[in-house]
């Protein structure tokens, strides 16, 4: 004899409108990321457990990644459009060339690891 097994119905999935989904996502984001306390919040870093050296290195890394020092020195004097275009083209070429060299070096290292 077969017994009938009752399976509970699947929970109804609520269909959200894009506006409702956006509002919910926005509320989650605001809960995780509170508003800044003051005008310096975006320009400051937290020092955890009195670790001043690690905070300093973190700040230096942020400044280096955002190219702050180079921009500050570049803004000390006006640069004409022509030389600026030439400089930017040169910097772009140097970056691309360096990346290609890195690729070739990685390829050679991979070939050497294989024993060729």
Q: In angstroms, rounded to a whole number, what is the distance separating the alpha carbons of residues 47 and 29?
A: 24
- Domain residues for the domain of 62 are 49-77
Q: Please count the structural domains in the chain.
A: 2
Residue 62 in any domain: the answer is yes
Q: In angstroms, rounded to a whole number, what is the distance separating the alpha carbons of residues 36 and 41?
A: 6
Looking at the fold, whether 62 and 95 belong to one and the same domain comes out as no
Q: Are 70 and 76 in contact (CB under 8 A)?
A: no
- Taking only the tens of pLDDT, the chain with its 116 residues reads 455 656 566 556 677 889 988 998 988 888 887 777 787 777 778 888 888 999 999 999 988 988 889 889 988 999 999 999 999 999 999 999 999 999 999 999 999 999 87
SS3 29: helix
pTM: 0.47
């Amino acid at each position: 004899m077969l017994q009938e097994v009752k399976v509970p119905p699947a929970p109804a999935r609520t269909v959200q409108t894009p506006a409702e989904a956006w509002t919910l996502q926005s509320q989650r984001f605001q809960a995780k990321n509170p508003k800044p306390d003051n005008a310096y919040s975006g320009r400051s870093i937290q020092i955890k457990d009195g670790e001043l050296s690690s905070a300093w290195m973190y700040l230096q890394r942020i400044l280096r990644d955002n190219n702050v020092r180079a921009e500050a020195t570049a803004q000390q004097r006006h640069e004409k459009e022509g030389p600026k275009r030439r400089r930017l083209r040169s910097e772009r070429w140097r970056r691309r060339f360096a990346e290609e060299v890195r690729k070739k070096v990685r390829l050679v290292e991979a070939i050497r690891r294989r024993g060729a």
